[in-house]
Amino acid sequence: MRKRPLTPGYIFFYILFSPETWRILIGILAAWFFTSVIVSPDTATRAQVMLWIMISVIGYAVSFVPARWISYMLARRILGGKSPYPEKSPRKKQGR
């Protein structure tokens, strides 16, 4: 297989189509939203930081399927027929 040249466009689209990017973003957004809802104003800064980290990791862990779906839909929409995903859906086919 030929090695692709490392260009800014390649790096941008690699990051855009990577499910890990979306998992990180969903984890950060979940932490931002839920920490502001859960934490009271008199909570210590260390406790707020620990809670923020815990919620962001939980958000990262539970966002596997939505992140994969977002990556698949973006690749299908932007790339059209040249999608890097060989199957028709992001779910694995189950068969015998």
Q: How many CB atoms are closer than 10 A to CB 38?
A: 12
**Contact call for residues 32 and 44 (beta carbons, < 8 A):** no
**Contact call for residues 59 and 31 (beta carbons, < 8 A):** yes
In the chain the first and final C-alpha atoms are separated, in Å, by 30
Domain assignments of the chain as residue spans, ordered by start:
20-78
Tell me how far apart the alpha carbons of residues 19 and 21 are, in angstroms, rounded to a whole number.
5
Sign of CA dihedral 13, 66, 79, 93: positive
pLDDT at 94: 59
Instruction: Give 62-82 pLDDT, tens digit per residue.
Output: 999 999 999 988 888 888 766
Instruction: Give 26-54 pLDDT, tens digit per residue.
Output: 999 999 999 989 988 899 999 999 999 99
